[in-house]
Amino acid sequence: MTRVTVTAVIPVFNDVEALKTAIPKSIEALEAYGKSFELIIAEDGSTDGSREYVVEWERKDARVRLLHSDERQGRGRALNRALAESRGDIFCYYDVDLATDIKHLPELLGRIEDGADVSTGSRLMKDSTIVRSGDRELASRGYNFLVRLFLGSKLRDHQCGFKAYRSTVLKELVKKIHAPHWFWDTESLVLAQKAGLKVEEFPVIWTQGPGTTVRFKDVTGMGKDILKMWWRLHVEKS
């Protein structure tokens, strides 16, 4: 298996229109970074032609790889599977709507190359620039406050879909990650901090996309996940 410097992953569920922008912009940004790369589209049970669109890209660019699942697995499982199939020394992922400005990709990857184990974009730091609805802003701040309160995290934003990891580090972390879906992001960051790893957070420009696959039950479910993780860390451990 030929190694590359960067594995970039885009989790996808019924996002064919967003892919028409995300794939070419990703390739452009990764080429500009100047290191060898692969772009994995972790397509998860889509029915809108997303799979077929990625297959077209595979045929014309060997750096693009489709990772298809017939059934909906959830974001976390899709990322776990992508990691197992990845060839990069650095593993990064970001949202298909490119809500986080892709111009931040060099910093995301560069922090890993400069010695960080994990790097993550943040929508909630002083110098971050975000555009989104008031209700989502309130929910995000409340959620992240609870993560810091119950799980002892020092970070401001745990759910920004713009993260990179040293691949060897992440392969150890996923052995302890329980979440199959959205809470995967938070769990990976909390576990990294608990392990004493170097986790760097930096401000980004972030714009809310026209749609989202995060539903109300996902938000309430992640609240329950915070309590479950607290129990695991503080009660079961003892």
CB atoms within 10 A of CB 23: 20
223, two tokens:
């609240």
Alpha-carbon span 218 to 182, nearest angstrom:
7
Alpha-carbon span 189 to 170, nearest angstrom:
10
Percentages of the chain per state (helix, strand, coil), in multiples of 5: 45, 20, 30
- 161 φ, ψ (degrees, to nearest 5): -80, 60
* Residues forming beta bridges with residue 130, ordered by sequence position: 206
Q: Which of 132, 161, 128 is nearest to 22 (CA)?
A: 161
The single residue of 117, 185, 218, 225 carrying the catalytic annotation is: 185
Q: Is 185 a catalytic residue?
A: yes
User: What DSSP letter does each residue of 157-197 carry, written as one string?
Assistant: -S--SEEEEEHHHHHHHTTT---SSTTHHHHHHHHHHHTT-
CB atoms within 10 A of CB 155: 22
Alpha-carbon span 153 to 147, nearest angstrom:
7
Q: Which residues are catalytic?
A: 185
